[in-house]
Structure 1
Amino acid sequence: MSGHIDKSWLVFRSIENSDHDRCVDLFQRPDGTFGFEEFRRDVEDVGEWTPVQYYSDIAYPTNDAALNAAIHVIPWLGEAIKSRH
């Protein structure tokens, strides 16, 4: 996890792309709101996940709302979800 995801937030789903170099974490905050963040993993980062954007600043009322927003702004995410089913 990064500085973009507070330690008090519960990450309940991580979705990686097929190259395993991008990931989206979906999480719930203690106040009951939901959010997501996109990460990348590059060789120069020594395998650590590095945040790509500041999506985690936005709060959504439901898990589905956060997931739908993530699919809308992260181009590879919809395909990654489809390929898992």
Structure 2
Amino acid sequence: MSGKNKVLRSINAPSSYASGESRCVDVFRRPDGTFGFEEYRRDAEDARGWFAVGFFSDRVFDSEDAALREARARVVWLNAAMGDT
């Protein structure tokens, strides 16, 4: 496996959220087999693209499900984006 994280899921904030679709959460698998997540944002007027805003990527989880559960607990808009109210 390469030395890069592999994104398993990328979830965009709902358009009803204040930041609209300018936020997302990626759940990823590291080359060592552990999992993590990060929250990103982008600004339409900034061509640099997405950048980390949650600073969660150093957290280590044993499974994709565990990483996603923690992301849902920490990122305020994520449950709404996934269909939970």
Q: TM-score, length-normalised on structure 1?
A: 0.83
Q: Sequence identity of aligned pairs in percent?
A: 47
C-alpha distance in structure 1 between counterparts of 2:32 and 2:77, whole Å: 29
| Cα deviations by residue, 1:2-34 (Å, 9 ceiling, x for unpaired) | xxxxx6110011000122110000000111100
Long gaps (5+) in structure 2? 15-19
1:65 & 1:33 partners in 2: Cα distance? Answer: 10
* Count of residues paired in the alignment: 77
Q: 1:16 is matched with which residue?
A: 12
Structure 1 gaps, min length 5: 1-6
Letter in 1 for 2:56: Y
SS at match of 2:76: coil
The aligned runs of 1:35-50 (5 Å cut-off) are 35-46=36-47, 48-50=49-51
CA distance in 2, matches of 1:29, 1:37: 13
Residue identity in the other structure for 2:24: C
Q: Following the alignment from structure 1 to structure 2, what is the Cα–Cα distance between the partners of residues 41 and 47? A: 8
Please state whether the residue corresponding to 2:82 is helix, strand or coil.
Answer: helix
In the TM superposition, residue 43 of structure 1 has moved relative to its aligned partner by 2.5
Correspondence for 1:27: 28
More helix by share: 1
- Structure 1, residues 46-65: CA drift from partner, whole Å, max 9, x if none? 26111102100011001010
- Give the 3-state SS of the residue equivalent to 2:45 in structure 1: helix
